[in-house]
Amino acid sequence: MAEQDNLAIIQKLEGQAERLRTLLDKDTRGPKRPLIIEFSGSPKAGKTRCIHGLELFLKRNGFRAEVFTERASIAPIKSKGHLYFNIWVSCASLQGMLESLYRELDVFILDRGLFDALVWNQWLRITGKTTQEEADAVDGFFMMPQWTELVDLVIVMTCDPKVSLEREYSEQLTTRQGTIMAVDTLRQIQEATEATIHKSGSKFKRILKMDTTNTKTMQAVAQVTEQVLESLNVLLDECLCVLPASAIPSLPAEGMVTDQATIQQFLDAVAGQRQFMPRSQAETNPNYYQPIPCAVVNYQDRILFLRRKKKGHPLHDTYAVWAGGHAVQSDDKGNDILVEALERELSEEIFIRGEYTLDPKPVGLVRTSEDARASRHIGVVYRLELKTEEVALAMNQREFRETRGNSMSGRLVEVNRIPEFYTAMGNWSKSIVDEFWPDPARTHDDGTLFGSHRQDVGL
């Protein structure tokens, strides 16, 4: 009976994996980054076996998965009870995680990472090995949103200390306890784990806590795999902000709308009738529209032009006078979801965080009718002014290299030169230019806007 039960579990998981694999193959653009899973918890709680089982399952089912093994065993700092040891090991994990963003991986598995850094920091504090000031400084660094928002799932595995020791010595020729593998220390680590979940758990997207004291390996691996597939589904088929078509005010099929009453009606629909729908459904359902917050970035008399290099993307190799993207469920933080989404997209796409003035009142709505899918995307256009010349220089002649080898080139262009590049713009950009910088004298793109520096000296 147990064998039949195990076979049923395997078949169920493999069916889920096949659906996700199909979903991944259909999206030619692919996700921006790999799914990042972190394992943490008590020694001998079954973490290593679960990691190996998960990695094998993912690879056998066609996913590109990699395990970043904890660096504790190769740390040059030998004292595990010292602040330096935790910092060295944790920074190595952070480095591995950041590097994974730029590699062709579907799933990246951390054998101890950011959450674990916080647990050990808590343990160092309660055992008097660090001051409160030092502990707070370490927590502040490893809890930076730039890091924690990358971790999709933290799996915290715990085990009764006595059982941990039984497992440790079941195949050893000694029963002498070590520095960490001692009952009192293991209890302290569990206390530190609970305290970290209570104090910092809300900083992470999801935490799965598993007590494996009485759990068989097969059960633990199956539970972990199911949760990882669920998180992978969220990443691959993220929930987008959508509006029922019936809630949308009457808009032209093409072009820019600047009537403030119409814009406000649209914003009211976002505020009161927004829903969230998996991307695979939102992109094909004709009964729902997607608001896309986007900003025209300017500094004095110059506008930021962008050109995306991302094959399969509808804006590949065209000029854009806006930056932005979809609003997703994680942007719904109780404030203005469109502004929240826009600020996140600006950080992700052109690496700018707060050094600008963003007018929270949109200046227009933009739409294109080039195909049915595109017509259901409604651009909500904002104005953004860079604060300083230094920030402007950072935007100019810049390649914003995203993950997976994709990139966007950026260039600040004087307003009077916009017509030179009009014919190479995307439809939204043309509509924005037509509204705010109309000029009947359109010339063809000369191809040098994002050429070499020597070519662009005259721009």
pLDDT confidence bin for 454, thresholds 50/70/90: very low
Please tell me whether residues 176 and 321 are part of one structural domain. no
Q: Is residue 330 part of a domain?
A: yes
Torsion of CA 133, 138, 143, 144, to 10 degrees: 100
Please tell me whether residues 183 and 296 are part of one structural domain. no
Please tell me whether residues 314 and 184 are part of one structural domain. no
**Chosen domain end from 213, 236, 259:** 236
Residue pointed to by tokens 């949308």: 248
Q: Is residue 224 part of a domain?
A: yes
3-state secondary structure string across the chain: CHHHHHHHHHHHHHHHHHHHHHHHHHCCCCCCCCEEEEEEECCCCCHHHHHHHHHHHHHHCCCCEEEECCCHHHCCCCCCCCHHHHHHHHHHHHHHHHHHCCCCCCEEEEECCHHHHHHHHHHHHHCCCCCHHHHHHHHHHHCCHHHHCCCCEEEEEECCHHHHHHHHHCCCCCCCCCCCCCHHHHHHHHHHHHHHHHHHHHHCCCEEEEECCCCCHHHHHHHHHHHHHHHHHHHHCCEEEEEEHHHCCCCCCCEEECCHHHHHHHHHHHHHHCEEEEHHHHCCCCCEEEEEEEEEEEECCEEEEEEEECCCCCCECCEECCEECCCEHHHCCCCCHHHHHHHHHHHHHHCCCCCEEECCCCCEEEECCCCHHHHCEEEEEEEEEECCHHHHHHHCCEEEECHHHCEEEEEEEEHHHHHHHHHHECHHHHHHHHHHCCCCCCCCCCCCCCCCCCCCCCC
Q: Is residue 271 part of a domain?
A: yes
Please tell me whether residues 175 and 289 are part of one structural domain. no
Strands 65-68 and 107-111: parallel
Please tell me whether residues 35 and 103 are part of one structural domain. yes
CB 354 within 8 A of CB 306: no
Strands 323-324 and 288-299: antiparallel
Query: Residue 248: what pLDDT?
Result: 94
pLDDT confidence bin for 7, thresholds 50/70/90: confident
In percent, the amount of the chain with pLDDT more than 90 equals: 64
Buried b (16+ CB within 10 A) or exposed e, 110-133: bbbbbbbbbbbbbbbbeeebbeee
Pick 327 or 405 by higher pLDDT: 327
The pLDDT tens digits of the residues spanning 9-34 come to 899 999 999 999 988 887 645 577 99
311: pLDDT strictly greater than 60: no
Please tell me whether residues 38 and 176 are part of one structural domain. yes
310: pLDDT strictly greater than 80: no
Please tell me whether residues 230 and 261 are part of one structural domain. no
Pick 100 or 2 by higher pLDDT: 100
Query: Residue 12: what pLDDT?
Result: 94
Q: Is residue 454 part of a domain?
A: no
Residues 40, 206: Cα–Cα separation, whole Å = 13
376: pLDDT strictly greater than 60: yes
Please tell me whether residues 123 and 203 are part of one structural domain. yes
266: pLDDT strictly greater than 70: yes
Question: How much is the pTM?
Answer: 0.82
Average pLDDT score over residue span 403-427: 83
146: pLDDT strictly greater than 70: yes
> What's at 459, amino acid-wise?
L
**CATH number of domain containing 264:** 3.90.79.10
Average pLDDT score over residue span 239-244: 97
Kindly report the number of other CB atoms within 10 A of residue 239's CB atom.
18
Domain span at residue 399 reads 246-436
Please tell me whether residues 308 and 379 are part of one structural domain. yes
**Chosen domain end from 200, 216, 236:** 236
Residues 131, 407: Cα–Cα separation, whole Å = 43
**CATH number of domain containing 42:** 3.40.50.300
Buried b (16+ CB within 10 A) or exposed e, 63-88: bebbbbebbbeebeeeebeebebbbb
Q: Is residue 446 part of a domain?
A: no
Please tell me whether residues 254 and 229 are part of one structural domain. no
Average pLDDT score over residue span 413-427: 91
Please tell me whether residues 48 and 162 are part of one structural domain. yes
For residue 352, is it left (φ>0), alpha (ψ between -120 and 50) or beta? beta
Q: Is residue 131 part of a domain?
A: yes
For 412, list phi and psi in degrees, rounded to 5.
-80, 125
Average pLDDT score over residue span 304-308: 88
pLDDT confidence bin for 81, thresholds 50/70/90: confident
Query: Residue 414: what pLDDT?
Result: 92
Residues 147, 139: Cα–Cα separation, whole Å = 12
* Mean pLDDT of all residues belonging to the chain: 87
Range picked from 163-167, 303-307, 360-364, 385-389 for highest mean pLDDT = 360-364
Total number of domains in the chain: 2
Tokens of 359: 């007018």
Average pLDDT score over residue span 88-112: 95
Residue pointed to by tokens 């147990």: 2
Q: Is residue 443 part of a domain?
A: no
441: pLDDT strictly greater than 60: no
Q: Is residue 241 part of a domain?
A: no
**Chosen domain end from 236, 259, 288:** 236
Please tell me whether residues 153 and 121 are part of one structural domain. yes
